[in-house]
Chain A
Amino acid sequence: MQLMLPENIVLSYKGPITTSLISGLSQEIQTKFKDNPRINRKLTSIYMELAQNIFYYSVEIDHFGEDDKVGMIIVSQNTESFYLITGNLIETNQGNFLKEQAEKINSLDMEGLRKYRLEIVESPINPQSKGAGVGLIKSCLVSENPVGVDIQIIDEHLSFYTIIIKIKK
């Protein structure tokens, strides 16, 4: 997938993703979009899921201080849509799984996605999981658009995982 560069950046962050940063940026989004309740609600709810995904799954660690996970969060817009873009390092051997997960999500219609979410939530497999995949399903449902996923292999160990969610204005 070709990454489209955002035309107009509303918010951009790269660095340690901590719990206080997650709630802080959420406040920032809500302040910026306070005059547009629909976009505000959708962006905030998708942002929360994807920011938590970075918090749980990024393999890039900032060793300054608290060993925080590192990731990137961008909100941008063009004339038609808002975009929420997140990026973080993953292990290269996770790449295929994440690609297949996105393909599966994009292959389902709304009804199918809703059923699939319940299936995953109720699945006893991998009780350690904080709900990986479910956040992406929610993002797809709330944005009413396919999820864009891009994986750039850096080397045999590390890849950069980007998620792009589009919300029509």
Chain B
Amino acid sequence: MENLYIEGAKGEFYTPLVSLTVSTGICEVSGESYLEYTGEFYAQITQWIRNYAQEVKKGIIFNFRLSYFNTSSFKALLGVLKVLKEYRNQGGEVDINWFYPPDDEDILREAQDLAEGAAVEMNYIEQNF
């Protein structure tokens, strides 16, 4: 199984940086998320996690470091968290860290709602990025 790496970019749409690493289980989604084909984009991430859970079966540390995401991305991120929750339920060791910019209560609230929607626990960490 291979790493998934997608370079972040900001142009007509905003592509978050995605870096999912097989050897360490360290995963990162960061930057801004406003995409033309949101469902397809995030499906790559959920598929990678499912493959990792089947083939590698080791721990995952998933770091979200998003400064902006639109409503379609909210829905897609909920899907990612649900798949992480699924792996945790199967016995996978899954740590989820949600980094948010200082004083950005709006994005913290969205993150908390995502966690509630996916019924998953995660750590919230205020950090400059």
Contact = CB atoms under 8 A, between A and B. Distances in A.
Interface of A: 19-20, 23, 37-38, 41-42, 44-45, 48-49, 52, 114, 117-118, 121-122, 130-131, 134-135, 138, 141-142
B34 interface: yes
A140 to B, nearest CB: 12
A19 B117 contact: no
Given A118-B113, A141-B109, 15 more contacts: A19-B12, A19-B13, A23-B10, A38-B103, A41-B106, A49-B71, A52-B71, A114-B113, A121-B74, A131-B71, A131-B72, A131-B75, A134-B75, A135-B71, A142-B106
Interface residues of B, number: 21
Contacts of B72: 130-131
B114 to A, nearest CB: 9
Interface of B: 10-14, 34, 36, 68, 70-72, 74-75, 78, 103-104, 106, 109, 113, 116-117
Name the prevailing secondary structure of the A interface residues.
helix
